[in-house]
């Protein structure tokens, strides 16, 4: 099997579980050395590290809160030194804290904005100078259809992901002349821990609105990322790719 990313270094935020884990493993299978961070679940991070190393590439794991600008800066500088560079950044770490606006507290609002939006700024900011200097690099942001169409009880989350989408387009225009591409994937409902709070009734109601008739899986998102960083996608930048089984077709 040809490994399309052999010799590259890919960073994945929130790699320890769910979508980030699938993306990190996709990179390792494609031959890239992988750096990832996590926040709380050290056991999940250790398990991923073992799985990545078993694929014969280097792995650099760190416990870093993406909300903290200084910690992120140190982490990225360390990865660059330990793995010898950075070629791809996937900003994936994110949380939900769903509530009707009338019940939402300032803490609910800030937790989601700080993680999903400011966290993304922190990581992209820490990588961008390297990408500009080397005149190559790829940024992939994990957004959500919630940021495109808006979903009830997600004003904080929809606002954060709408911000991610605008950030994608703005940064893509800013850095295109340096050979750096910036794209986002906007998944619909993907089977990860984030969906574990849904009741069977809620799941059935959601499924009725998904034309392809199933929830997505983390590998669906990893496949889309694999395409976006491939040679086949070299003329694509500034796009928000919806991958939601048709959920948000309007």
Region from 12-20, 25-33, 49-57, 102-110 binding ligand NDP, contact rule CB under 6 A: 12-20
Q: Which is nearer to ligand NDP, 26 or 176 (CB)?
A: 26
Catalytic residue among 38, 157, 178, 235: 157
Closest CA to 1 of 47, 38, 56, 79: 56
Q: Which is nearer to ligand NDP, 74 or 178 (CB)?
A: 74
**Residue 198 CB, nearest approach to ligand NDP (Å):** 10
Region from 17-25, 75-83, 172-180, 231-239 binding ligand NDP, contact rule CB under 6 A: 17-25
Q: Which tokens go with 179?
A: 């050979």
**Residue 42 CB, nearest approach to ligand NDP (Å):** 7
Q: Which is nearer to ligand NDP, 19 or 26 (CB)?
A: 19
Residues 85-124 close enough to bind ligand NDP by CB under 6 A: 92-95, 115
* Residue 157 known to be catalytic: yes
**Residue 225 CB, nearest approach to ligand NDP (Å):** 11
Give the whole-angstrom CA distance, residue 225 versus residue 228.
5
Question: Contact between 245 and ligand NDP (CB under 6 A)?
Answer: no
Residues 153-212 close enough to bind ligand NDP by CB under 6 A: 187, 189-190, 192-195
Q: Which is nearer to ligand NDP, 8 or 17 (CB)?
A: 17
Number of residues forming the site for ligand NDP (CB under 6 A): 29
Could you identify the residue written with the tokens 């948000």? 248
Q: Which is nearer to ligand NDP, 38 or 131 (CB)?
A: 38
- Is 39:93 a contact under the CB 8 Å cutoff? yes
Closest CA to 223 of 25, 45, 87, 59: 25
**Residue 73 CB, nearest approach to ligand NDP (Å):** 14
Residues 32-91 close enough to bind ligand NDP by CB under 6 A: 37-41, 44, 65-67
Give the whole-angstrom CA distance, residue 17 versus residue 9.
20
Could you identify the residue written with the tokens 């700080």? 114
Catalytic residues: 157
Instruction: Provide the binding-site residues for ligand NDP, judged by CB under 6 A.
Output: 14, 16-20, 37-41, 44, 65-67, 92-95, 115, 142, 144, 187, 189-190, 192-195
């Amino acid at each position: 099997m040809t490994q399309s990313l052999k010799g590259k270094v890919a960073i994945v935020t929130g790699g320890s579980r769910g979508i980030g884990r699938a993306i990190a493993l996709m990179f390792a299978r494609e031959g890239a050395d992988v750096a990832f961070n996590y926040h709380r679940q050290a056991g999940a991070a250790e398990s991923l590290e073992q799985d990545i190393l078993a694929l014969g590439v280097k792995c650099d794991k760190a416990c870093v809160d993406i909300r903290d600008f200084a910690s992120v800066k140190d982490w990225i500088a360390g990865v660059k030194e330990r793995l010898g560079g950075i070629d791809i950044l996937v900003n994936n770490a994110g949380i939900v804290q769903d509530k009707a606006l009338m019940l939402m507290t300032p803490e609910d609002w800030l937790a989601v904005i700080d993680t999903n939006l400011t966290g993304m700024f922190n990581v992209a900011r820490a990588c961008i100078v390297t990408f500009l200097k080397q005149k190559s690099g790829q940024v992939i942001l994990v957004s959500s259809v919630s940021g495109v169409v808006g979903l009830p009880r997600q004003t904080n989350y929809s606002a954060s992901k709408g911000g991610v989408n605008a950030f994608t387009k703005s940064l893509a225009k800013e850095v295109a002349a340096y050979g750096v591409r910036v794209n986002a994937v906007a998944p619909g409902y993907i089977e990860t821990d984030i969906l574990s709070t849904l009741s069977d009734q809620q799941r059935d109601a959601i499924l009725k609105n998904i034309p392809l008739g199933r929830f997505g899986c983390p590998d669906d998102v990893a496949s889309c990322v694999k395409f976006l960083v491939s040679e086949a996608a070299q003329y694509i930048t500034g796009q928000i790719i919806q991958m939601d089984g048709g959920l948000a077709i309007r």
